[in-house]
Amino acid sequence: MNTEQILITLATSLIGGLFTFGGIWLRLYYSDKNRNAQVDLKLESNNSAILSKLQETDKKHDEHFKKIDNNFAIIEEKSKHETFAKSFNARLTAESYNYVLGFDNLNEKLTEFLLKGATDAISIFTTIINTEFKHYQKEIISTQFKVARISIASKFSSRSLIVEKNLLETEILKHRNLFLKKFDALMESKKENGERMEIFENLANDMITGIITDVVALNGAVKKTKDE
């Protein structure tokens, strides 16, 4: 083998070695690249799972705190109702009693009837504040007034009251129906509960004083003068 052949053989071997090395390097390079890509995909998948978990946790926390806020709102609203109901009861009782006792020539039984009627009506009004402002049912309220009317009528005879029974019941029914009509319109309105309660108290007071005024007028009683 001469020198030229030796050089050709060496060159061929060298080139073959380079191709072999290059092939190995390329396989290693792409293998490493694929492995890194898989790692990146796995990290991305893990990050997505973590992010999803965090979002789910945040949602649960939001729902939890929203529930707490709602509970506080319910408690606060209930407290407002109870506070208003107590003060409403006290105010209306005092006003009704003072109004009844502000008339002259009232038969003792009639006075007792009016005071009892005012007390029963105020009791119904207080129940309405505590229940019907949340779940308004006109029929239930109407029934409550009917029961109260029957109850009080059974305790006082027309003779004791002097006023003829049918006239008495007509006056009570007139004011009850007027109250129910106005109250129904109030509850169907879009007013806030605070404003509703204020208007409701005026309606309740109008009903009681209206009945008292008409009933004592049938009895011939008049308001006391300031000097008395």
Residue 220 pLDDT exceeds 60? yes
Domain count within the chain: 1
Is residue 55 domain-resident? no
Is residue 203 domain-resident? yes
Query: How far, in Å, CA of 134 to CA of 67, rounded?
Result: 19
Nearest-CA neighbor of 210 among 177, 184, 164, 186? 177
Is residue 86 domain-resident? yes
Is residue 64 domain-resident? no
Is residue 95 domain-resident? yes
For range 76-100, the mean pLDDT: 78
Query: How far, in Å, CA of 29 to CA of 40, rounded?
Result: 16
Query: How far, in Å, CA of 47 to CA of 59, rounded?
Result: 18
Is residue 4 domain-resident? no
The answer to whether residues 91 and 197 touch, using CB atoms and an 8 Å cutoff, is no
- Strand-pair partners of 104: 222
Higher pLDDT residue, 137 or 121? 121
pLDDT at 205: 93
Is residue 103 domain-resident? yes
Is residue 70 domain-resident? no
* 193-218 and 165-188 helices, crossing angle to 10°: 170
Higher pLDDT residue, 58 or 189? 189
- Residue 74's pLDDT band (cuts 50, 70, 90): very low
pTM: 0.61
Highest mean pLDDT among 49-58, 159-168, 187-196: 187-196
Domain hosting 140: range is 80-223
pLDDT at 71: 46
pLDDT at 206: 93
